[in-house]
Amino acid sequence: MNKPISIVVVDDHALVRETLRERLSAEPDMRVVATAHDADEAVTRAVKHRPDIILLDIEMPGLLVFDAARTIRSLCPHTRIVFLSAFYHDRYVEQALSIECAGYLTKNETAETVVDALRIVSAQGVYFSPQVRAQIVVGHDGPRLAHTHRSRTDRLTPRETEVLRYIASGLSKKDMAQLMRLSIKTVDRHAATLMAKLDIHDRVGLARFAIREGLARA
């Protein structure tokens, strides 16, 4: 009998996390070896269990998920990374492709589709939801975004993008510092850089820009 596909499920919403764990564990060829509630814990669980697949939500507090994914790829080269998100903005898809993920699933997929996708990934294939496939093309150097237009957000670092999202969510500097494990002074510096790069000169303007660009957290 073949060894079950080992999976780590990562989502900051307990209901989503447990629903996925129960559904995947019901498959005879799959075993959820651990769950995690944020990106920091995802790295810890990946290193401990060395799963075949880690299923990562994108929108979570703390360490940036794409940073965590790069760390996991470095420390656990045989673990395949599949992103799961309600969002599929170009900037997310581009970052996912940059770390050579094995899949990107949207949260409107059926449970059966998720199961089938993970089997494909386990067999060294890749799976992208239709909405994501519509945004990419596959060339000799692998998949890439089909769109080549650039926006002001492309000049932002991942940390600056995260600060912008939190500003749009109405978080205080103190709350942002705690969530991101940074000093308030560092958060202030990121905000000042954002204003300079985007030519926007107050937090209200930054929040409105983030909402227009689809960066505000749901």
CATH of the domain at 48: 3.40.50.2300
Task: Give the span between the Cα atoms of 16 and 56, in whole angstroms.
Answer: 12
CB-based burial label for 26 (10 Å; 0-12, 13-18, 19+): exposed
Same domain, 114 and 61: yes
Q: Give the contacts of 148 (CB within 8 A, at least 6 positions apart).
A: none
Query: Which residue is it, tokens 């939190």?
Result: 166
Q: Give percent above pLDDT 70 in the chain.
A: 89
Same domain, 91 and 180: no
In the predicted structure, residue 30 carries a pLDDT above the cut 90: yes
Residue (of 111, 119, 38, 118) closest to 82 by Cα position: 118
Domain containing 198 equals 152-212
In DSSP terms, which residues pair with 81 in a beta bridge? 54
Pick from 20-34, 42-56, 150-164: least confident = 150-164
Question: Residue type at 144?
Answer: R
Same domain, 129 and 45: yes
For residue 36, the surrounding DSSP H or E stretch is strand 30-36
Residue 133 has what pLDDT?
85
- 32-36, 127-131, 188-192: which is most confident: 32-36
Q: Is 218 within the bounds of a domain? A: no
Residue 86 has what pLDDT?
87
Structure tokens at 28: 């005879």
Residue 218 has what pLDDT?
46
Pick from 4-13, 27-36, 97-106, 114-123: least confident = 97-106
In the predicted structure, residue 211 carries a pLDDT above the cut 50: yes
Q: Is 95 within the bounds of a domain? A: yes
Please, which pLDDT band fits residue 63 given cuts at 50, 70 and 90?
low
Same domain, 138 and 55: yes
In the predicted structure, residue 109 carries a pLDDT above the cut 70: yes
Same domain, 116 and 10: yes
Residue 189 has what pLDDT?
92
Query: Mean pLDDT for the chain?
Result: 88
